[in-house]
Amino acid sequence: MKIVLKIIILMLLAVPVTAQEDTVRVDSLALDSAAVDTAVAPAPVRVDSVLFVPNLDYSPGKRVENPVDFEKHLTQNPTAALFKSMLVPGLGQIGNRRYIKAGFFIAMETWFIASVIHFGKQAHFYRQEYEAADEDDLIARQYNYTLYEDRRDNRNKFTWFAGITIFFSMFDAYVDAHLSGSPYNDSGKDRLNLEVQPDVKGGARAVVSFSF
Residue 76 to residues 4, 83, 92: CA-CA distances in angstroms? Answer: 133, 12, 9
CA angle 139/144/141 to nearest 5° reads 40
165: nearest Cα among 208, 110, 119, 84 = 110
List the beta bridge partners of residue 209: 193
Q: Where is pLDDT greater, at 169 or 22?
A: 169
Q: Over the stretch 144-160, which tens digit does the pLDDT of each residue have?
A: 999 999 999 999 999 99
| pTM recorded for the entire structure | 0.54
DSSP three-state, residue 75: coil
Mean pLDDT of the chain: 74
Q: What residue type is assigned to position 138 of the chain?
A: L
The residues, ordered by sequence, that sit 6+ positions from 75 with a Cβ below 8 Å of its Cβ are: 95, 96, 97, 177, 180, 181, 188
- Spell out a b/e string for 78-113, using b for 16 or more CB atoms within 10 Å of the CB, else e: bebbbebbeeebbbbbbbbebeebbebbbebbeebb
Tell me the pLDDT tens digit for each residue of 92-140.
999 888 889 999 999 999 999 999 999 999 999 999 989 888 877 788 8
